[in-house]
Structure 1
């Protein structure tokens, strides 16, 4: 079996089936709201950091990919769904790690390690619980990064706490989707979208707070 066939055979399945999933598609629109409010946040707080300023556009890409995937489910639309999410995660982690340590080799090494953990789940080489396991792997690594971040920036602890708690709830609903079809025909995947959009906004808010604190304490403006 080729790589394309393997992807096709292992595409995630939801309670909503078929070539169009109305509830999952409609709930994907919340990512555009998250992108809008994130963009407005950056404008209001006059954020200059280029990496952070890219993120609202990446979030809009997440919304586009999610709408496409749940409207026309196939291999290409699944990639359109997963690639922007992965891009957002790695940009966010890169920023956090860069604020924790100054050694770029270490930063890239950690990101490579996270990618090496995620790829087997992405390629379905390991059991993925309908795609949820790779998000769990990313979340666990994110918790360690965020804990280290709070050591350097204690002001962001409350943001980290809410992000972690909401991530657990979101992943629960994503994992439960295919198990509740008989009770709830539309499933619970749409709640993954709703909670996910809030989490994304909070992550951007967290990065903004870190950037503001860093500039305030160091007196330098930021580029990346």
Structure 2
């Protein structure tokens, strides 16, 4: 990570400068749109859950952080890009597990620890593929391999909803499909640079905005907060 100077990771950026990645920067509006639509859905549901509000706030923060990274493009703004994303992922997974286990605290903790361990192993095995490096050139899959744990977790969630015939299954499968396709666009950004001139990274933003909206709607509409959370690990 470089805190001094600018970071050049994507096709569209060709030089330092605030407005050198206009398409990548402006496409982050997808996250803000997702947050607004999710907020409207929450208002329509009649619920005012703090968990939903926090996730909607994080969805908007992802858009703001990514916009800052694609404009200032330095190590500090890279953190503003990454931290809201993984905070959203961690909080969403915890909330979903808690609600699908009918408010079972111990079961939620146990599953979260297992998921965290799997994600940790995933990061450890893909840690050398985190980002494009100016000196060394593009890493394998242009740094997209770091998202392998996330895509596995999301399709695992989709499979669970399909097996259970959960009412959220259509939205969760849609979210998983959006993320899969968006990861493809992120991966080929530099390879498509010569043909497109601007790359394909902006589609990563657009489709991930759609993914986050689908996940938030699934939570708001089909995964309400348990009325009476259980503390017994054997419950649920």
Q: Distance in 2 between matches of 1:131 and 1:125?
A: 5
What is the DSSP-based 3-state SS (H/G/I as helix, E as strand, rest coil) of the residue aligned with 2:10?
Answer: coil
Structure 1 gaps of 5+ residues are none
Shift of 1:125: 6.6
Distance 1:185 1:76, change over 3 A: same
- Per the normalisation by structure 2, the TM-score is 0.79
Contact 1:100 1:152 in 2 (8 A): no
Q: Which runs of 5+ in 2 are unaligned?
A: 131-138, 230-236
Question: What is the rounded CA distance, in whole Å, between the counterparts of 1:68 and 1:100 in structure 2?
Answer: 35
Residue among 167, 176, 179 paired with 1:164: 176
Change (3 A) 1:153 1:110: farther
Which of 104, 110, 121 aligns to 1:117? It is 121
1:16 pairs with 2:12: yes
Deviations 1:74-115 (A, max 9, x none): 111111101101011111111122233321331331232244
- Structure 1 pair 155–104 and aligned structure 2 pair: CA distance change class (3 A): closer
Superposition pairs for residues 34-183 of structure 1, below 5 Å? Answer: 34-101=34-101, 102=104, 103-120=107-124, 123-124=127-128, 129-152=141-164, 154-183=166-195
Cα pair distance change 1:80/1:70, threshold 3 Å: same
C-alpha distance in structure 2 between counterparts of 1:47 and 1:152, whole Å: 25
Q: Distance in 1 between matches of 2:60 and 2:118?
A: 24
Higher helix share: 1
Kindly tell me: are residues 121 and 12 of structure 1, through their superposed partners in 2, closer, same or farther at Cα, counting changes over 3 Å? farther
Residues 94 and 146 of structure 1: CA distance in aligned 2, closer, same or farther (over 3 Å): farther
1:122 & 1:62 partners in 2: Cα distance? 23
TM-score scaled by length of structure 1: 0.83
User: Secondary structure, in 3 states, of the residue corresponding to 1:178?
Assistant: coil
**2:215 is equivalent to residue 203 of structure 1:** yes
Residues 108 and 153 from structure 1, CA distance in 2 versus in 1: closer, same or farther, beyond 3 angstroms? same
- What is the Cα deviation at residue 181 of structure 1? 0.6
Partner of 2:202: 190
Relative to structure 1, the CA distance from residue 12 to residue 168 in structure 2 (aligned partners, 3 Å threshold; closer, same or farther) is farther
- Which digits, 9 at most, give the CA deviation of each residue in 1:160-195, with x for residues without a partner? 221122222111111110101110110000011111
